[in-house]
């Protein structure tokens, strides 16, 4: 499966109370061609990862309405699109929305750590869309088991396409979803709801940055 075929499969999925950024358009924030921009962003991102032979995927739960729903890149808000491009040798990722750029707390922490690690990874979610409450399309909810079962085969295809050698599960939900995957999985706490310091510390340790972090950021190391 090529990156283009993978994205076409993503775009073909329609589910109730779920925003598919690669097919759906937000009447409030999106530009008229927003789904196409997000598909292009993701294709460029995936193809750059393939070209660079990235073998590690960080996997969280699902898209948030301030981040990947708007950009098409998991765990990446509009503030960090340029950093996402720089991580993979200067690819150009475009905004799909109008108005001021929106920030997401999780994206900020993830990209802070990626900037310190200075190693390219592929970012993804167990459920690659934005699940929301039926009466509030800008809310965040956890995807259901039935929703996950529909998209899980695509996650397996992505792992196969990337030839992943290591997966980093961000949060318990991602850990449980990856339980039966026959690849090494490291689990770190999700940075939301008070987990920021543990998330940073775990990834620093995973990438061998613990000693450097203690020297450069002594106050953080004591947290």
Return the pLDDT at 210.
Answer: 65
Find where tokens 């397996």 sit.
156
Distances (CA, A) of 165 to 29, 56, 57, 114, 145: 37, 6, 8, 18, 26
- pLDDT of residue 215 exceeding 60: no
Return the pLDDT at 87.
Answer: 87
The residue among 26, 30, 25, 10 whose CA lies nearest residue 96 is 30
- pLDDT of residue 32 exceeding 90: yes
Pairs from 178-186 (Cβ < 8 Å, separation ≥ 24): 178/59, 178/126, 181/156, 183/159
Q: φ and ψ at 10, to 5 degrees?
A: -60, -45
Question: Tens digits of per-residue pLDDT, 35-90?
Answer: 999 999 999 999 999 999 999 999 999 999 999 999 999 999 999 999 999 988 88
Return the pLDDT at 213.
Answer: 45
Q: Is 184 helix (H, G, I), strand (E, B) or coil?
A: strand
- pLDDT of residue 218 exceeding 90: no
- pLDDT of residue 212 exceeding 60: no
How many independent structural domains does the chain possess? 1
Give the pLDDT band (50/70/90) at residue 217.
very low
Q: φ and ψ at 24, to 5 degrees?
A: -90, 155
Question: E strands of 39-170, at which residues?
Answer: 56-62, 122-127, 130-131, 166-170
The pTM of the full predicted model, rounded to 2 decimals, is: 0.90
Question: Tens digits of per-residue pLDDT, 75-97?
Answer: 999 999 999 999 888 899 999 99
Taking the C-alpha atoms of residue 223 and residue 217, their distance in angstroms, rounded to an integer, is 10
Question: Tens digits of per-residue pLDDT, 163-186?
Answer: 999 999 999 999 999 988 888 899
Domain that holds residue 33: 3-221
How much of the chain, in percent, has pLDDT values that exceed 90? 83
CB-based contacts of 24: which residues, under 8 Å, 6+ apart? Answer: 35
Q: What is the mean pLDDT of the chain?
A: 91
Cβ-based neighbour number of residue 14 at 10 Å: 10
Return the pLDDT at 139.
Answer: 94
Q: What is the CATH number of the domain that holds 155?
A: 3.40.470.10
- pLDDT of residue 219 exceeding 90: no
- pLDDT of residue 191 exceeding 70: yes
């Amino acid at each position: 499966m090529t990156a283009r075929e993978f994205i076409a499969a993503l775009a073909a999925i329609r589910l109730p109370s779920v925003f598919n950024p690669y097919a759906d358009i937000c009447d409030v924030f999106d530009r008229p061609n927003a789904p196409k921009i997000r598909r292009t962003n993701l294709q460029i991102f995936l193809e750059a990862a393939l070209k660079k032979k990235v073998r590690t995927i960080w996997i969280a739960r699902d898209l948030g309405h301030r981040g990947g729903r708007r950009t098409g890149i998991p765990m990446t808000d509009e503030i960090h699109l340029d950093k996402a491009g720089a991580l993979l040798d200067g690819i150009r990722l475009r905004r799909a929305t109008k108005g001021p750029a929106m920030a997401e707390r999780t994206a900020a922490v993830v990209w802070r750590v990626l900037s310190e690690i200075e190693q390219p990874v592929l970012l993804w979610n167990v459920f690659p869309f934005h699940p929301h409450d039926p009466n509030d399309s800008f809310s965040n909810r956890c995807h259901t088991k039935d929703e996950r079962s529909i998209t899980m085969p695509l996650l397996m295809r992505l792992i196969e396409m990337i030839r992943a050698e290591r997966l980093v599960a961000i949060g318990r939900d991602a850990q449980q979803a990856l339980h039966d995957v026959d690849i090494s999985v490291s689990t770190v706490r999700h940075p939301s709801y008070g987990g920021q310091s543990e998330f940073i510390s775990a990834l620093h340790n995973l990438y061998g940055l613990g000693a450097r972090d203690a020297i450069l950021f002594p106050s953080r190391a004591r947290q």
